[in-house]
Structure 1
Amino acid sequence: MPIAKKIDETIAMLKKRLRAEESFDLIYRTMTIGGKGACLFFIDGLVKDEVMEKIMEFFYSAKPEDVTDAHSFVKSSVPYIEVALSDDEGLICTNILSGILVLVVDGFDKAISIDVRTYPQRDSSEPDRDKVIVGSRDGFVETLVANTALIRRRIRNPSLTMKILSVGSLSKTDVVLCYMDDHVDHALLNKLLKKIQDAPVESLTMNQQSLMEAMHRTRWYNPFPKFKYTERPDTAAASVLEGNIVILVDNSPSAVIVPTSIFDIIEEADDYYFPPITGTYLRLSRYLISLFTLVVTPLWLLALQNPQWVPELFQFTVQIEEPVYIPIFWQLILLEIAIDGLRLASLNTPSSLTTALSVIAGIVLSDFAVKSGWFNMQSLLYMAFVSIANYSQPSYELGYALKFLRVLLLVLTLLFNLWGFLAGLVLIFILMILNKTISGKSYLYPLIPFNGKELKKKLIRTRLHVKY
């Protein structure tokens, strides 16, 4: 619905739509510009006060001949770069609620939107989730424009495109698709655009997670992550240059990279900040450690059930000196839950007490757990390795997927011995094959379908392409 030319009608309409009388932080200021009535609408705390004061000086100095129509007024009396005209009532209200300064003038058939907004944000420090030994120390923040600027800083190419969309019938959350126009798969890009625009969601309460769940319906029983999340601008920029699409959501300090495979999820920035031989070692170590976290406790349980299969060299692994009051299987299950309990407790522990309580939990609890007969030393040893090794790869989602599948392997091994263990491995492989990404490609690419050249790139860190 277009706005009215009469200023009183426009002000009354906007005040009603925005419920300005009920919200203390929604400010409207009436004034006279060039002999005509005018009104400013803005959200307190989301505008740059100094810039707004300078702009108002030009408003008050405007002459009647400058205030004939919206277009000429913008050219002569609005000394700011980001200015737009609109007569759409819904768009004007959305602009105001987004922090944009909106000016309506008597006799103008369009409102003037001046983007002088500024959002409260923290410093762009290194993220806790994606740390590196060497390399950049900046990270994404909760402000969308700051995040796009961090990528722009790394890619100075006109092909880099930042396409903005609005998602959520209530929240109107800004979402940006970042891609290289001459590298991207345009079929995938159009598919993503349609999915985002048609997303049946009222608000993105959980930021990118809400958007991903609305875009891509997944099978609840398949725990493997469908997307790669990163809080590092260098990782996002590298993915864009490789032809991937990066999705940024306002209020979220992480980016979503599509398409992705399990090899991409396990990959880390440190692989490229070190020389090829070191990067290859780190990458292969991460693959092996991730595999060990999945099978180490089920393998030990299988060895305890069949000690005659264990080579003499490793007989010590099935020789338990402490008395076993609780079956080993239940010890491992209890430890799986206990580790998550300690992890959740550490998140809610005040920073000043984190170190002290971690020492207490690690030393006192483990010591008394063995002496009281609840657990034995080997159970604690293997579960300690599993809990620490989970952090060898950067994805929390993959870590929990491996946890759920490890428990599944334990249950099948307990019930069906060797055949249960083998069936569990086959089932896990089938879940990985069936885990289609949003692009529709295989989760195991380039292993399935096989592409030797691409698989070599995923396993071995080669030299970067340099033109001499």
Structure 2
Amino acid sequence: MTRKGVIIVPSAMPLQEASDANMVWSSEGKENVKNLENIFHHCSDIVFFSFSFQGGQQASLIYVDGMVDNLQIDEHVIEPLVTRYEQDSEEDGVTVESVRRTLTAVKVKTHTTMQEVVELMLSGMTILIPHQSDTAFSIEAIQFDKRSVTEPDAESVVRGPRDGFVETMQSNTSLLRRRIRSPKLKIQPIKRGKLTHTTINLVYMEGLASEQLLEEVKRRLDNITLESILDSGYVEQCLEDNPYSPFPQLLTTERPDVASSHLLEGRVVILVDGSPVALIAPALWVSFLQSPEDYYERHFFGTIVRWLRYASIFVALLGPSIYVAVISYHQEMIPTALILTMAKARAQVPFPALVEALLMELMFEALREAGARLPKQVGSAVSIVGALVIGQAAISAGLVSAPMVMVVAITGVASFIVPHYNLGISVRLLRFPIILLSGFLGLIGTMMGFILLVTHLLTLKSFGVPYLTGVAPFRSSMMKDILIRQPVWVENMTKETDQMQNAEQSSDKANQGNGLG
């Protein structure tokens, strides 16, 4: 989403020149306070509070109202400086050591650049500037309103954890730390967005994530030149290998347990401040058809449900297309009793099967979007009642046939089984061009659309990793987790066996290199 506006600047003082003049750091703290007042002119939420140290030294506290804990500031900053500040000597004035010795706050850092001070203050830090010093102090006493940790609505499970990511970066990183209590869990912050200065955290497991993957992710993050980043969706669009592909190339999740499991598999998690949706790279096609509940229930249930998802995604993608092709060109494939029933149902329909399918699919998508965008209290009622009423009315009016309504309904239910919403969007979009091919060319058009789709998937990559890894290129070790959800204890034994084999192979290679083989 792009926001454009007109900025009116007085001709006597261009905005850029005034900003550059105020961003200069002075050796006098009082001048720095005046520059900050000019920078934040007409910003009523920026608080400038001046007070005197014990001994008469002047200082100013600057912070954003509503983002700091006033009680901490009073107890750990103002009260110690006013009552217990001891100057090293009258000639030295205010020194960094004397201020650090007096303050009782936990996190206190020094700064000598205006750009750094402005960014920290806008991030919620409290800035202390003594008037007779060239150093500013940043004090962490951040406190602001935030959403509590709740279960994500889009990724709910019957059995599993109920917590989810929120819009606060500190909360999200702590949710990961609670699950992976290892010093190998690394979190590297990166600032992006020329206007928003959004914090992006790169999270990975040291020793599990490959160096090539880390270098590639860092390179792509460094190349982001957006002026504003308000959600992880902005970052996702800048990191994709093929931005014109209809398929998502980064896995998204709001669940800390899902992010943790992918971290332990050697993938990289990207957290964006202000967004509850984490990005996971690289993403494989099979990962979009897996749910965390597959691993929380017994392996029999996980395997059967996984097979059901594979069948459902083909029904959601090709169901209406096959129906249109068979009804229009291949009636001989339908049993006689069934074709007579379908012919009777379609006797009053004035449109061909292609137009009928497109009308019903468009109406179903409109009802789905209406149900998703309306308030929860009325959204479900509109989608369910609308589908029943409009479908029955369309059949009664002779605009569509009952078999077509049933096919569209089955297709819609099958699309809901896909665990990840962004893959479901891709299936919904690709359904329409395949329906058009089927309406003009029959089953040949259906197969042409399917072959083109598979060809695109075979050429697609996510951070250099083939999108269909495990299937093409085929890997027997990965097929154990694609078609069958093995018991947890079998997976651990397999991993230990693979590690032992890798260690033996490495030892053999080392011995051969030393002439001992």
Same fold (TM over 0.5): yes
Deviation (angstroms), 1:355 = 4.4
Q: Which residue of 2 aligns with 1:212?
A: 236
> In the alignment, residue 301 of structure 1 is paired with which amino acid?
V
Q: Which residue of 2 aligns with 1:142?
A: 167
User: Equivalents in 2 of 1:356, 1:422: separation in Å?
Assistant: 38
Secondary structure of 1:41's aligned partner: strand
User: Equivalents in 2 of 1:316, 1:53: separation in Å?
Assistant: 84
Structure 1's 320 and 239: CA in aligned 2 closer, same or farther, altered over 3 A?
farther
Q: Which residue of 2 aligns with 1:29?
A: 49
Determine if contact 1:30/1:38 at 8 Å carries over to the other structure: yes
> In the alignment, residue 70 of structure 2 is paired with which amino acid?
D
The one of 472, 487, 490 equivalent to 1:448 is 472
Deviation (angstroms), 1:406 = 1.5
Structure 1's 107 and 408: CA in aligned 2 closer, same or farther, altered over 3 A?
same
Determine if contact 2:370/2:382 at 8 Å carries over to the other structure: no
Deviation (angstroms), 1:320 = 4.6
Q: Which residue of 1 aligns with 2:309?
A: 286
User: Equivalents in 1 of 2:464, 2:205: separation in Å?
Assistant: 20
The one of 112, 121, 129 equivalent to 2:146 is 121
> In the alignment, residue 192 of structure 2 is paired with which amino acid?
V
Q: Which residue of 2 aligns with 1:461?
A: 485
Q: Which residue of 1 aligns with 2:270?
A: 247
Structure 1's 136 and 379: CA in aligned 2 closer, same or farther, altered over 3 A?
same
Determine if contact 2:30/2:130 at 8 Å carries over to the other structure: no
Determine if contact 1:105/1:111 at 8 Å carries over to the other structure: yes
Q: Which residue of 1 aligns with 2:80?
A: 58
Structure 1's 317 and 287: CA in aligned 2 closer, same or farther, altered over 3 A?
farther
User: Equivalents in 2 of 1:188, 1:15: separation in Å?
Assistant: 45
Determine if contact 1:3/1:110 at 8 Å carries over to the other structure: no
User: Equivalents in 2 of 1:308, 1:452: separation in Å?
Assistant: 40
Structure 1's 154 and 74: CA in aligned 2 closer, same or farther, altered over 3 A?
farther
Deviation (angstroms), 1:314 = 5.8
Secondary structure of 2:188's aligned partner: strand
Structure 1's 49 and 389: CA in aligned 2 closer, same or farther, altered over 3 A?
farther
Give a deviation string over 1:312-360, Cα, whole Å, max 9, x none: 5864784452411222211221222222221222233233333443443
User: Equivalents in 1 of 2:440, 2:428: separation in Å?
Assistant: 19
Q: Percent identity?
A: 27
Secondary structure of 2:106's aligned partner: coil
Deviation (angstroms), 1:271 = 0.7
Determine if contact 2:30/2:132 at 8 Å carries over to the other structure: no
Aligned counterparts, 1:45-444, within 5 A: 45-55=66-76, 56-65=78-87, 68-205=93-230, 207-216=231-240, 218-220=242-244, 222-305=245-328, 306-311=330-335, 315=339, 318-322=342-346, 323-437=348-462, 439-444=463-468
User: Equivalents in 2 of 1:420, 1:152: separation in Å?
Assistant: 51
> In the alignment, residue 29 of structure 1 is paired with which amino acid?
F
User: Equivalents in 1 of 2:317, 2:287: separation in Å?
Assistant: 18
Provide the aligned C-alpha RMSD in A: 2.0
Give a deviation string over 1:354-376, Cα, whole Å, max 9, x none: 34434431332221121112222
Secondary structure of 1:102's aligned partner: strand
User: Equivalents in 1 of 2:421, 2:341: separation in Å?
Assistant: 30
Give a deviation string over 1:130-174, Cα, whole Å, max 9, x none: 111101011111111101111110000000011111011111001
> In the alignment, residue 40 of structure 1 is paired with which amino acid?
L
Determine if contact 1:228/1:260 at 8 Å carries over to the other structure: yes
Secondary structure of 1:337's aligned partner: helix
The one of 16, 34, 39 equivalent to 1:12 is 34
Q: Which residue of 1 aligns with 2:506?
A: none
Q: Once structures 1 and 2 are overlaid, which stretch shifts more, 272-281 or 373-382?
A: 373-382
Deviation (angstroms), 1:410 = 0.8
Deviation (angstroms), 1:82 = 2.1
Secondary structure of 2:280's aligned partner: strand
Give a deviation string over 1:200-235, Cα, whole Å, max 9, x none: 211113x11111222336342x21111110010100
| Matched positions, count | 463
Structure 1 residues without counterparts, runs of 5 or longer: none
> In the alignment, residue 60 of structure 1 is paired with which amino acid?
V
Q: Which residue of 1 aligns with 2:63?
A: 42
> In the alignment, residue 64 of structure 2 is paired with which amino acid?
I
Determine if contact 2:248/2:423 at 8 Å carries over to the other structure: yes
Secondary structure of 1:123's aligned partner: coil
User: Equivalents in 1 of 2:458, 2:345: separation in Å?
Assistant: 42
User: Equivalents in 1 of 2:206, 2:389: separation in Å?
Assistant: 57
> In the alignment, residue 460 of structure 1 is paired with which amino acid?
I
Secondary structure of 1:107's aligned partner: coil
Structure 1's 74 and 452: CA in aligned 2 closer, same or farther, altered over 3 A?
farther
User: Equivalents in 2 of 1:326, 1:33: separation in Å?
Assistant: 85
User: Equivalents in 2 of 1:229, 1:314: separation in Å?
Assistant: 43
TM-score by length of 1: 0.94
Structure 2 residues without counterparts, runs of 5 or longer: 1-22, 497-517
Structure 1's 291 and 68: CA in aligned 2 closer, same or farther, altered over 3 A?
farther
User: Equivalents in 2 of 1:428, 1:326: separation in Å?
Assistant: 28
User: Equivalents in 1 of 2:189, 2:95: separation in Å?
Assistant: 26
User: Equivalents in 2 of 1:451, 1:239: separation in Å?
Assistant: 19
User: Equivalents in 2 of 1:225, 1:314: separation in Å?
Assistant: 39
User: Equivalents in 2 of 1:386, 1:319: separation in Å?
Assistant: 21
Determine if contact 2:373/2:379 at 8 Å carries over to the other structure: no
User: Equivalents in 2 of 1:357, 1:212: separation in Å?
Assistant: 32
